[in-house]
Copies of this chain bind each other. A is one copy, B any other.
Amino acid sequence: MRVTASAPAKVILFGEHFVVYGEPALVMAVERRVYVSTEPRTDCKIYIRADGIGASGYYSGEALRTFEAEMGGREAQDRLQPIKVVIEHALRLSKKKVGLNVIVKSAIPVAAGLGSSAAVAVATAAAVGRVLGLELSREEVYQIAYEAEKVIHGTPSGIDPAISTYGGTLIYRRGEGVKPLTLEVEVPLVIGNTGLSRSTGDLVARVRRLKDRYPSIVEPILSVGGKIVAEAIMALKAGDLEALGNLMDINHGLLSAVGVSSGPLERLVYAARRAGALGAKLTGAGGGGCMVALTATGDLDKVARAIEEAGGETLTATRAKEGVRIEEQR
């Protein structure tokens, strides 16, 4: 049997950084998917190949502790570790001793704040689970991916595997977990990648320093961030994309105020606005990484071109209504 599962990327529409201080965030799955194909092997090895991160190799032996890199050299093992953790988890659940080939193909840029690694974990859990005959529920797929994220990242919010699993739009608030938001409206987005790497941890620390030094200024900014999410939910429910765009612009200004924007991000943001985007903001940690522009459907290409002319790599995407799914089984 050979199974292919896919899971979508995510984009934070509102609330990055402010979410650390208890404000809500609004996260949307977008139609850019990771595809994970898997099939049993005749031996007991686990072969993983992920071209997007330039790594492949074989795990074998007692508790799969032996690793032999095929591509990616000495770093391959580290890069493949999150995928291996998911596979091991599924193998444990299945109580089977079987080898697997696991091939990851991704249309999601890596390390750009688009949830690529969570999407890989979710699609891997679904594909491997199916091949092993586990009949996992969505909730179980989510749990396996989330547990793997915990092993790798410490204390992640869990929002990335949730959005890749369930798709659609989710409201997240620290301590309250995720809540789905049912929507009918199409949300045409252009994502622009500055291509500049940044450290999420450094940027989170920068906001905290500013808040600790100027609490009477920064705290109300954070709370305005929460009000923006509330307004954005109303705008989305009403299908009012113009309002949604205005709110993205305001949110971007607040992120600039707390020090997480940058020259390259502003260049892409203003290029998108000038080309007629309804709104544009940085998305994710900021510093470098990605921005996201909301456009009228007919303007997607024009806005994407403007962002490219300003030096960004783009992907256009609409809301992914579906989360993880089995694409093929034969």
Contact = CB atoms under 8 A, between A and B. Distances in A.
Given A214-B246, A263-B267, 16 more contacts: A210-B250, A217-B228, A217-B231, A217-B247, A220-B220, A220-B223, A221-B224, A250-B257, A251-B257, A252-B256, A253-B255, A253-B256, A254-B254, A254-B257, A256-B257, A266-B270
Nearest to A264: B270
Contacts of A250: 210, 214, 217-218, 221, 257-259
Interface of A: 210, 213-214, 216-218, 220-221, 223-224, 227-228, 231, 243, 246-247, 249-259, 261-263, 266-267, 270-271, 274
Question: Taking the full assembly, how many copies of this chain does it contain?
Answer: 2
A247 B221 CA distance: 13
27 contacts: A210-B246, A214-B231, A214-B250, A216-B227, A216-B231, A217-B224, A217-B231, A217-B250, A220-B220, A220-B227, A221-B221, A221-B254, A249-B257, A249-B259, A250-B257, A251-B257, A252-B256, A253-B254, A253-B255, A253-B257, A253-B258, A253-B259, A253-B261, A254-B254, A256-B256, A263-B274, A267-B267
A263 B258 contact: no
Most buried by B among A217, A228, A243: A217
The A interface is mostly helix, strand or loop, or mixed, namely helix
Contacts of A247: 214, 217
Nearest to A218: B250
A263 B271 contact: yes
Contacts of A216: 227, 231
A112 to B, nearest CB: 20
A228 B215 CA distance: 11
Contacts of A274: 263
Contact of A227 (B210, B217, B254): B217
Contacts of A246: 210, 213-214
